[in-house]
Amino acid sequence: MIKENKMGVLPVNKLLITMSLPMMISMLVQALYNIVDSIFVAQIEEKALTAVSLAFPIQTLMIAVGVGTSVGINALLSRFLGEKEFGKANDVAKNGIFLTILSYLVFLLIGIFAVKGFYASQTTDAVINAYGVEYLTIICVASLGIFMQSTFEKLLQSTGKTFYAMITQGAGAIINIILDPILIFGYFGMPKMGVAGAAVATVIGQCTAAVMAIIMNIRVNTEIHVGMKGFKPSGSVIRQIYIIGVPSIVMQAIGSVMTYGMNRILITFTDTATAVFGVYFKLQSFVFMPVFGLNNGLMSILAYNYGAGKKERVMKSYKLAVCYAVAIMVVGVIIMQCIPDKLLLLFDASDHMLGIGVPALRIISACFIPAAFGIVTGAVFQALGYAWYSMIVSICRQLLVLLPVAYLLALTGELQNVWWSFPAAEVMSACVTVFFLVRIRKNVIAHIGE
């Protein structure tokens, strides 16, 4: 007899916690790395911090492709496991690895040919350009680690082995944190590499996590087999992966477009405004990453129980996840409202940077709580095969509201007004999300198990 996976039988609250907590911890470590990385770069000079902040759109795009593809792999694989279609699950894993390698080749070419033009389109400052090209070229050319890490960690998550994914992701981030000051400032006999050291530390951490994730899949992930001998790509499997994955890729890629657009708007005021925006993203990741970790665990649970026809477990998992996500965001709002100056001083903020950053953090954090609802509900859309709902919400929020409103508010000549575009976009997003949730509950969730 085939043993039932824990995602189909464990009490829902215990399952959600055991599935999500390891991913939340690993993503907190990842968020800590993001913050520490920028803290060390800021010690070089503010222009170095600005250069790294301007790299964020390409890094976001890289994450969009890697994570979006692996989301498709995760949801489809978990669904097949719920249906006890183990052969199909193996095919999904193998085709997912093939797509991971293709994704890396795209960013290898970007790193070789497109980085200089990317920076030139954002600023004419020669110092910022030099820092940025050096940093982003290394990140792109050596990006195989982040793609392999994302895919193999999702294979572990899809079978409920989130503890092992936590170990790999956490180890990669910790190695990165340790290497950052050593390579940036040249400690222990190492050469002083500056921003290049931050990039090298990043890719070493990613490659380490990728190798660990591959080894753990081979040793402990017995429900799927990813041997590539005799492998041939399957158009139908790739299509199914991307039906789920492409909306996720587009959603996060839109984030890249949004960041690029906001950088262009903010830099018309001052380079410091762009640095503040970059710092905000680092800080908010410490709040949002645990929610995304919760989402990673939730998505596998939802997809598995959807495939197994267990409607009550689907709904209970979703409701609990919303409660946990809102609780996390409330803590984030309190911190951002009470000590924004202390947070900015972590990055050696000047008085000018504090004057811009303190109101920015307080205004933008007002959107955290409705964002929790949107993030968790997006996991429902993706797990049930309606990822394009999430894509539409993301397009509306970031391209149809956020950027146009930010541009119009920038015309007032007051930088502080620009930050209000974030709460405005989140309110609209929540309304659209509710509309789609009502539709999917009526047309899909109500019929699970019939």
Stated as kind and residue range, the H or E segment containing 372 is: helix 368-383
pLDDT value of position 1: 38
Angle at 58 between CA 56 and CA 60, to 5 degrees: 65
For the stretch 398-423, pLDDT in tens is 999 999 999 999 999 999 999 999 99
Q: Is 130 exposed, middle or buried (0-12, 13-18, 19+ CB in 10 A)?
A: middle
Average pLDDT of the chain is 89
pLDDT value of position 4: 58
DSSP 161-174: -HHHHHHHHHHHHH
Q: How many CB atoms lie within 10 A of CB 98?
A: 17
Q: Which residues of the chain have pLDDT under 70?
A: 1-5, 7
The separation between the first and the last C-alpha atoms of the chain, rounded to the nearest angstrom, is: 25
pLDDT value of position 342: 94
pLDDT value of position 158: 80
For residues 238 and 400, what is the distance between their CA atoms, to the nearest angstrom? 30
Rg for the chain, CA atoms, rounded: 21
For residues 252 and 250, what is the distance between their CA atoms, to the nearest angstrom? 6
Give the residue carrying structure tokens 């890249």: 256
Cβ neighbors of 252 (< 8 A, separation 6 or more) are 60, 61, 63, 64, 67, 68
Burial 433-442 (b: 16+ CB within 10 A, else e): beebbeebee
pLDDT value of position 5: 63
For residues 40 and 348, what is the distance between their CA atoms, to the nearest angstrom? 10
pLDDT value of position 154: 85
For the stretch 113-139, pLDDT in tens is 999 999 999 888 999 999 999 999 999
Which two tokens mark 219? 């040793």
For the stretch 234-289, pLDDT in tens is 999 999 999 888 877 887 788 888 989 999 999 999 989 998 998 998 898 888 98
pLDDT value of position 2: 46
Largest Cα separation within the chain, whole Å, is 69
